[in-house]
Amino acid sequence: MTWDQWLHWANLKLKKSISPKRDAEIILGQVTKKSRAQLLAFGESLLEYDTIIQLKSLIYRRKKGEPIAYLVGSKEFWSLDLKVSPGTFIPRPDTECLVKHVFDLLKVSHLNVLDLGTGVGTIALALASERPNWNITGIDCQKKALFLAHKNKLLLNFKNVKFIYGDWFKYLRNKKFNLIVSNPPYIDKNDSCLQFRDMIFEPKNALVSKQKGLEDLTVICKYSTQHLRQNGWLVLEHGWNQGNYMRALFFKFGFTHIHTIRDYHHYERVTYGKWKSH
């Protein structure tokens, strides 16, 4: 079987996928270690039997709805190739809006930054990639995610970021930061989006929060005031319908300069505010 023949077969098998052709190309590229351009230019190349068996296994996993990122073991975010695995949260393009806004908001050369619920290091590593003089700490309570965050840091050879185990602010004691960022769980357990094919496979504790999705956002907003330096910033990603609640929450806990920005789909997605102790 040639590359072209396999791609045609895989495309038919994945016809219920949103992007069957692209899914097939990504899987074939990952297994053969070839770029998309090479796959298309040398489509008459023959596949070995063992490779066909491996490819079929991946196609059947994808057919069941397993995310492409889990199948190939990585996901691109902010032009970084981040390692992921089943049981870890997959970085989302909309979170790049948070990263971009942080860069727009803070143009200083030196900062102490905290990324709460860092997962595989998504936000922390994106910030580290463009701000080598920022001192960045990523915290997560999921050891599998932390292992991959460390691995991603080593693969990217970033020196200005570290990852530690923790449950939000629990083990930080009196440490303070100029900037706290987070993309915490914010989905209501009854939200229908949890039944989407890809999301069924992701860890629920990285997606779902109590109190209709608002518990973790509330905890972070409340206790961040104890860990922000004077004039420090809190930047939180949240659900598309949680903007009003977030602005009221920031105001309740004494933040100023409160604003919400929209994601690539024009939904309210990230709220930020400035902290001044009273």
Where do we find the tokens 């309570």?
Answer: 141
Residues whose CB falls within 8 Å of the CB of residue 107, separated by 6 or more in sequence, listed in order: none
pTM: 0.87
d(CA 59, CA 265): 30
Low-confidence ranges of the chain (pLDDT < 70): 194-195, 197-198, 278
Report, at the CATH architecture level, how domain 75-275 is classified.
3-Layer(aba) Sandwich (3.40)
Q: Which of 109, 102, 184 is nearest to 139 (CA)?
A: 184
Residues whose CB falls within 8 Å of the CB of residue 221, separated by 6 or more in sequence, listed in order: 234, 236, 246, 249, 250, 253
Alpha-carbon distances, residue 79 vs 50, 125, 161 (angstroms) = 32, 11, 18
Q: Which of 94, 6, 88 is nearest to 49 (CA)?
A: 6
Q: Do 3-64 and 75-275 share a fold?
A: no
Does 166 show up as a binding residue in the annotation?
Answer: no
Please say whether the beta carbons of 58 and 16 come within 8 A.
no
Break the chain down into helix, strand, coil percent, rounded to 5. 40, 20, 35
Does 225 show up as a binding residue in the annotation?
Answer: no
Tell me what pLDDT residue 135 has. Answer: 95
Tell me what pLDDT residue 208 has. Answer: 79
Q: Where are the domains of the chain?
A: 3-64, 75-275
In residues, how long is the chain? 278
Does 185 show up as a binding residue in the annotation?
Answer: yes
Tell me what pLDDT residue 173 has. Answer: 82
Does 118 show up as a binding residue in the annotation?
Answer: yes
Over residues 125-163, the pLDDT tens digits come to: 999 999 999 999 999 999 999 999 999 999 999 999 999
Does 165 show up as a binding residue in the annotation?
Answer: no
Burial, 86: exposed, middle or buried (Cβ in 10 Å; 0-12, 13-18, 19+)?
Answer: middle
**Region 3-64: CATH code:** 1.10.8.10
Tell me what pLDDT residue 19 has. Answer: 86
Over residues 190-214, the pLDDT tens digits come to: 777 766 766 778 778 788 778 888 8
Q: Both tokens of residue 259?
A: 């604003």
Does 183 show up as a binding residue in the annotation?
Answer: yes
Does 120 show up as a binding residue in the annotation?
Answer: yes
Does 213 show up as a binding residue in the annotation?
Answer: no
Tell me what pLDDT residue 109 has. Answer: 81
Tell me what pLDDT residue 18 has. Answer: 80
